[in-house]
Structure 1
Amino acid sequence: MKTALKENPFSNRAIWLYTVAFVFYATNHMLIIALPFLSQTLGAGRSEIGMIMGSYMFVSMFLRPLAGAVVDRFGPKNIFMIALVLNAIVLASYSLEDLWAFAIMRALQGAILAFFSMTIHLLIIDLLSEKMRGQGLSLLSLSSMLPYTFVPALVLYMKDQISMTALLMIFAAMGVTNIVLGIRLYVTIGQQASKEDSKGSELQTVHDKKQASSVLFPAIIMLLASVVFSVAPTFLPLYLESQGLHSAPLYFLTETAVLIFIRFFGRKHIPSSETFPKWLVVLLIACFTLSPALLAMSISTPILLAAAVFNGLALSLLYPTLMTYISFIVPTHVRGYSIGWFIAAADFGTSSGAFMMGWLAETFSFETMLGTATCLGVATLILALIYHGGKKVAA
Structure 2
Amino acid sequence: MKLSSLDHPFNKKASWLYLVALLFYATNHMLIIALPFFSEQLGASQSDIGMIMGAYMFVSMFLRPVAGAIVDKLGSRNLFMITLVLNAIVLALYSIETLWAFAVMRALQGAILAFFSMTIHLLIIDLVSDKARGQGISMLSLASMLPYTFVPALVLYMKDHISMTQVLLLFTAIGACNILFGTGLFRSLRYDAKRQVVTNIKPSEATSIRTANRAIIFPAVIMLLASVVFCVAPTFLPLYLESIGLHTAPLYFLTETAVLILIRFYGRKYIPNSSVLPTWLIIPLIACFMLAPMLLFVSLSTPVLLVSALCNGIALSLLYPTLMTYITFVVPEQSRGYSIGWFIAAADLGTSCGAYLMGWLADEYSYKAMLATAACIGGAALLFTAAFKRKGRGRYVSANS
TM-score, with length taken from structure 2: 0.95
What CA distance in whole angstroms lies between the structure 2 residues aligned with 1:210 and 1:30? 41
What pairs with 1:156-167 in structure 2 (closer than 5 Å)?
A: 156-167=156-167
Give the equivalent residue in structure 1 for 2:87.
87
Give the equivalent residue in structure 1 for 2:109.
109
Please state how far the C-alpha of 1:279 moved relative to its aligned partner: 1.3
Please state how far the C-alpha of 1:192 moved relative to its aligned partner: 4.3
Give the equivalent residue in structure 2 for 1:314.
315
Please state how far the C-alpha of 1:272 moved relative to its aligned partner: 0.8
The letter for the 1-side match of 2:396 is K
**Which deviations, in whole Å up to 9, do the C-alpha atoms of 1:294-353 show, x marking residues without a partner?**
000000000000000000000000000000000000111100000000000000000100
Asked whether the equivalents of residues 75 and 191 of structure 1 are also in contact (C-alpha less than 8 Å), the reply is no
**Which deviations, in whole Å up to 9, do the C-alpha atoms of 1:160-217 show, x marking residues without a partner?**
110010000000000100000000000112464576x533369996984564221011
Asked whether the equivalents of residues 126 and 194 of structure 2 are also in contact (C-alpha less than 8 Å), the reply is no
What CA distance in whole angstroms lies between the structure 2 residues aligned with 1:273 and 1:211? 14
What CA distance in whole angstroms lies between the structure 2 residues aligned with 1:209 and 1:237? 44
Matched, 1:78 2:78: yes
What CA distance in whole angstroms lies between the structure 1 residues aligned with 2:209 and 2:130? 22
Give the equivalent residue in structure 1 for 2:302.
301
Unaligned regions of 5+ residues in structure 1, if any? none
Give the equivalent residue in structure 1 for 2:174.
174
Unaligned regions of 5+ residues in structure 2, if any? none
What pairs with 1:357-368 in structure 2 (closer than 5 Å)?
A: 357-368=358-369
Give the equivalent residue in structure 1 for 2:348.
347
What SS is found at the alignment partner of 1:198? coil
The letter for the 1-side match of 2:385 is A
Asked whether the equivalents of residues 76 and 192 of structure 1 are also in contact (C-alpha less than 8 Å), the reply is no
Percent identity, aligned pairs only?
64
- Aligned in 2, Cα 1:225/1:207: closer, same or farther, shift over 3 Å? same
What SS is found at the alignment partner of 2:48? helix
Asked whether the equivalents of residues 286 and 377 of structure 1 are also in contact (C-alpha less than 8 Å), the reply is yes
Which of 374, 391, 394 aligns to 2:396? It is: 391
Give the equivalent residue in structure 2 for 1:47.
47
What CA distance in whole angstroms lies between the structure 1 residues aligned with 2:124 and 2:194? 14
Give the equivalent residue in structure 2 for 1:337.
338
**Which deviations, in whole Å up to 9, do the C-alpha atoms of 1:31-60 show, x marking residues without a partner?**
111111111111111101100000000000
Give the equivalent residue in structure 1 for 2:31.
31
What pairs with 1:247-258 in structure 2 (closer than 5 Å)?
A: 247-258=248-259
The letter for the 1-side match of 2:183 is I
- Aligned in 2, Cα 1:100/1:205: closer, same or farther, shift over 3 Å? farther
- Aligned in 2, Cα 1:281/1:207: closer, same or farther, shift over 3 Å? closer
Aligned length: 394
RMSD: 1.8
What SS is found at the alignment partner of 2:199? helix
Please state how far the C-alpha of 1:369 moved relative to its aligned partner: 0.4
What CA distance in whole angstroms lies between the structure 2 residues aligned with 1:375 and 1:336? 32
**Which deviations, in whole Å up to 9, do the C-alpha atoms of 1:192-250 show, x marking residues without a partner?**
4576x533369996984564221011000000000000100000001111111000000
What SS is found at the alignment partner of 1:271? coil
Asked whether the equivalents of residues 212 and 396 of structure 2 are also in contact (C-alpha less than 8 Å), the reply is no
Asked whether the equivalents of residues 134 and 321 of structure 2 are also in contact (C-alpha less than 8 Å), the reply is yes
The letter for the 2-side match of 1:254 is T
Please state how far the C-alpha of 1:13 moved relative to its aligned partner: 0.4
What CA distance in whole angstroms lies between the structure 1 residues aligned with 2:134 and 2:254? 26
Asked whether the equivalents of residues 32 and 53 of structure 1 are also in contact (C-alpha less than 8 Å), the reply is yes
What CA distance in whole angstroms lies between the structure 2 residues aligned with 1:206 and 1:393? 12
Asked whether the equivalents of residues 276 and 325 of structure 1 are also in contact (C-alpha less than 8 Å), the reply is yes
**Which deviations, in whole Å up to 9, do the C-alpha atoms of 1:131-185 show, x marking residues without a partner?**
0000000000000000011101100001111001000000000010000000000
What SS is found at the alignment partner of 2:200? helix
Give the equivalent residue in structure 2 for 1:64.
64
Asked whether the equivalents of residues 21 and 140 of structure 2 are also in contact (C-alpha less than 8 Å), the reply is yes
What CA distance in whole angstroms lies between the structure 1 residues aligned with 2:210 and 2:85? 30
